[in-house]
Amino acid sequence: MNQRTYNSEFNRSIADPEAFWMEQAQQIKWYQKPQKSISIDENGFYRWFKGGKLNTCYLALDVHIENGRGNDIALIYDSPVTQSVQKFTFSELREKVARFAGGLKKLGIEKGDTVVIYMPMIPQAVIAMLACARLGAIHSVVFGGFAPHELALRIDDAKPKAIITATSGIEIDRIIPYKPMVDEAIRLSSHKPDHVIVHNRKLGAIRPDADYDVDCSTLMKLSDPVGCTEVDATDPLYILYTSGTTGKPKGIIRDNGGHAVALNYSMKHVYGMNPREVFWAASDVGWVVGHSYIVYAPLIYGCTTVIFEGKPIRTPDASTFWRVISDYDVKVMFTAPTAIRAIKKEDPDGMLMKRFDLSGLRYQFLAGERCDAATLNWLQDHLKIPVIDHWWQTESGWPMVSNMMGYPDHFEVKPGSATKPVCGYNLQILREDGSRAKPNKEGFVTIKLPMPPGTLPNLWGDTERYRMGYLHTFDGYYFSGDGGYVDEEGYVFITGRVDDIINVAGHRLSTAEMEEVVSSHYAVAECCVVGIADELKGQIPLAIAVLKAGQDMEQFRLQSEVVNDVRREIGPVAGLKNVIIAQRLPKTRSGKILRKTIRAIADGQEYKVPSTIDDPIILDEITQLFMDEKIGVFQAKEE
């Protein structure tokens, strides 16, 4: 039999996606196998494996136990911030998940109900997710760095029967009380959950009591383990909220069937993993990487996964990533370029790597933001293994563009490129009129429908927003919201968002949401927030404010107050630190703020003066203002 190659498999996945993905569906265990791979739902959207019956938790745990692997390690919890390590076998993890699922059932949680999870990076977060999946309940994990206002928005949209939280998280050496934030979010939200299940970490955090509280350990003691609930392939597994250009988060739906098939496929063919090996994604369960590659993909594929509670630096130092890789013989590791830049800054000569045996590490993957060539080359020079920059989105749930390391014909790396489309993704660069762009010509990054399994089938409770946001721009195509180009050899280069979403240290954030907070300040008449280039984080937000007539506020005071407002309303994850005062903002004659031009000026890039600008002189004013304030590239020039 001929060995399958990337080129042959990619062509087959595009020419006959139904046959290709039905073949991949045979690699997981179904209660009832689907009779066909693709169908059209009542909204006219493509759906995968309708009629198939399965359970995602069963695939992640029970299958491996049935195959005699109950004593193999499923999960390693490594927490340098608490100086503790725990390991769970598949049997031990299933026992905890099944009992916690029994506790949720005791509280009235059933198939199709929603549950919000607001947890730090601890095993109980994984247990909570898998317990929901076991019941057929739909979980929505909210990143612990979000403030109560953001949590309240998600509570009102998801309408959970219960919230699962912990008493605290830890930010390097600082205790972050979670329970007061949950209580405040419930106070702010219109929807009131029936229960808040609290895992007590016993770290001394403030823990106010409420009538809706349920102690997690007590619930577990009083509950019996339960089995897996059969769900349809098209039933939702989870909702994951991602930033939208309107400021209102979008609830990405992930189904059970397509998700399991795609993630199982990706572990072998994208990441080059084998079952029983250790895979580590250094992310957070509150983001899509954590859902896909801390929890579901490694466990479904039968790997050991690592949940890490710490930072790439200061827990205790810039050697911590290499220590984890060495301690657990990690074969493939995945993190954001920001983490590597932070390590490089602390240890520019890579001396800390030499303390550890990294010989088992096969590949290092990077994603979450654009990777600069300097970071990629530095890491590759020191690790002396392939470093793979790959590109995907919350919406896709798994990689869209990557060097597929599970096939023998993977490619030479081109810095700045995530290499080539992953099998199943018919990626096209389109011009504004819908025609295909020529090689090396920038356009809009789209995927010709149907999207492969595992990608979003809809938005939670907002079908029209899904249609208009993703399918309306180009008929027959999914629009990613990113710009980019493909070179003459088929390498894909993603140049960045074409909307008002920025990527701060791998976290996707809405500038519109930040603008709402800035503009609510009593002294601000109007404002804009843009993402500007940053050497460490990739992008950081910059707010430009025009004061109301009669307001004479010092910039330092405005900045201090606005930064605190953003931290309170959105959370520290927003990372807004720069607020400057301008006399006016550059606009078109119709009143639209020229954000793209502002970004170009701040980043020192060439730009064309738009023909629709109201007053070109203001661009000179903004340029001078940035130079005076040493913003962005001007700071680098000064230095």
- The predicted-structure confidence for 443-476, as pLDDT tens digits, reads as follows 899 999 999 999 999 999 999 999 999 999 999 9
Spatial separation of the C-alpha atoms in residues 393 and 507, rounded to whole Å: 11
Query: Which tokens belong to 440?
Result: 């090396």
Predicted TM-score of the model (pTM): 0.86
Q: Is the pLDDT of residue 531 over 60?
A: yes
Spatial separation of the C-alpha atoms in residues 143 and 125, rounded to whole Å: 11
Q: Is the pLDDT of residue 634 over 50?
A: no
Its sign, for the CA torsion 342, 348, 351, 357, is: positive
pLDDT at 590: 57
Query: Which residues are CB-contacts of 178 (< 8 A; sequence separation ≥ 6)?
Result: 118, 119, 120, 144, 165, 166, 167, 168, 169, 205
> Which residues on adjacent β-strands are paired with residue 241?
251
Query: 426: helix, coil or strand?
Result: coil
Q: Encode pLDDT of 395-441 as tens digits.
A: 999 999 999 999 999 899 898 899 999 999 999 999 989 999 999 99
pLDDT at 636: 29
Spatial separation of the C-alpha atoms in residues 205 and 639, rounded to whole Å: 43
**Number of Cβ atoms within 10 Å of the Cβ of 489:** 11
Q: What is the 3-state secondary structure (H, E, C) of 99-155?
A: HHHHHHHHCCCCCCCEEEEECCCCHHHHHHHHHHHHHCCEEEECCCCCCHHHHHHHH
Spatial separation of the C-alpha atoms in residues 513 and 511, rounded to whole Å: 5
C-alpha angle with apex 155: 257 to 150, nearest 5 degrees? 110
Cβ neighbourhood burial of 440 (10 Å; 0-12, 13-18, 19+): exposed
Query: Which residues are CB-contacts of 263 (< 8 A; sequence separation ≥ 6)?
Result: 292, 296, 297, 300, 301, 397, 398, 454
The CATH class that applies to domain 501-638 reads alpha beta
Spatial separation of the C-alpha atoms in residues 44 and 499, rounded to whole Å: 26
- Determine contact, residues 547/525, Cβ cutoff 8 Å: yes
The CATH class that applies to domain 6-310+390-470 reads alpha beta
Spatial separation of the C-alpha atoms in residues 633 and 623, rounded to whole Å: 11
Q: Is the pLDDT of residue 204 over 70?
A: yes
The edge-to-edge listing of strands for the beta sheet with 443-448 is 427-430, 443-448, 477-486, 492-497
Residue 543: phi and psi, rounded to 5, are -105, 130
- Determine contact, residues 542/632, Cβ cutoff 8 Å: yes
At residue 637 the predicted structure's pLDDT band, cuts being 50, 70 and 90, is very low
DSSP state of 391: B
Q: What is the 3-state secondary structure (H, E, C) of 224-270?
A: CCCCCCCEECCCEEEEEEECCCCCCCEEEEEECHHHHHHHHHHHHHC
> Which residues on adjacent β-strands are paired with residue 264?
none
Its sign, for the CA torsion 561, 562, 563, 569, is: positive
Range(s) within the chain of domains with CATH label 3.30.300.30: 501-638
Range(s) within the chain of domains with CATH label 3.40.50.12780: 6-310+390-470
At residue 500 the predicted structure's pLDDT band, cuts being 50, 70 and 90, is low
- Determine contact, residues 588/612, Cβ cutoff 8 Å: yes
Query: 36: helix, coil or strand?
Result: coil
pLDDT at 496: 74
Q: Is the pLDDT of residue 537 over 90?
A: no
pLDDT at 246: 60
Spatial separation of the C-alpha atoms in residues 86 and 576, rounded to whole Å: 36
Q: Encode pLDDT of 110-120 as tens digits.
A: 999 999 999 99
174 compared with 612, residue with greater pLDDT: 174
Question: 533-536 long-range contacts, Cβ below 8 Å, gap at least 24?
Answer: 533/602, 533/603, 533/632, 533/633, 535/341, 535/636, 536/338, 536/341, 536/342, 536/345, 536/505
pLDDT at 251: 97
**Number of Cβ atoms within 10 Å of the Cβ of 554:** 9
Spatial separation of the C-alpha atoms in residues 221 and 64, rounded to whole Å: 26
Spatial separation of the C-alpha atoms in residues 355 and 360, rounded to whole Å: 14
Query: Which tokens belong to 130?
Result: 């898998």
> Which residues on adjacent β-strands are paired with residue 163?
116, 196
Summarize the confidence of residues 369-384 as an average pLDDT: 89
Query: Which tokens belong to 164?
Result: 């699962």
CA atoms within 13 A on the CB side of 100: 27
Summarize the confidence of residues 550-558 as an average pLDDT: 88
**Number of Cβ atoms within 10 Å of the Cβ of 179:** 22
132 φψ region: left (φ > 0), alpha (ψ -120 to 50), beta (else)? alpha
Nearest to 128 by CA among 172, 160, 150: 160
Q: Encode pLDDT of 78-113 as tens digits.
A: 999 999 999 999 999 999 999 999 999 999 999 999
Query: Which residues are CB-contacts of 435 (< 8 A; sequence separation ≥ 6)?
Result: none
pLDDT at 97: 98
Query: Which residues are CB-contacts of 522 (< 8 A; sequence separation ≥ 6)?
Result: none
Summarize the confidence of residues 336-357 as an average pLDDT: 92
- Determine contact, residues 78/310, Cβ cutoff 8 Å: yes
pLDDT at 229: 98
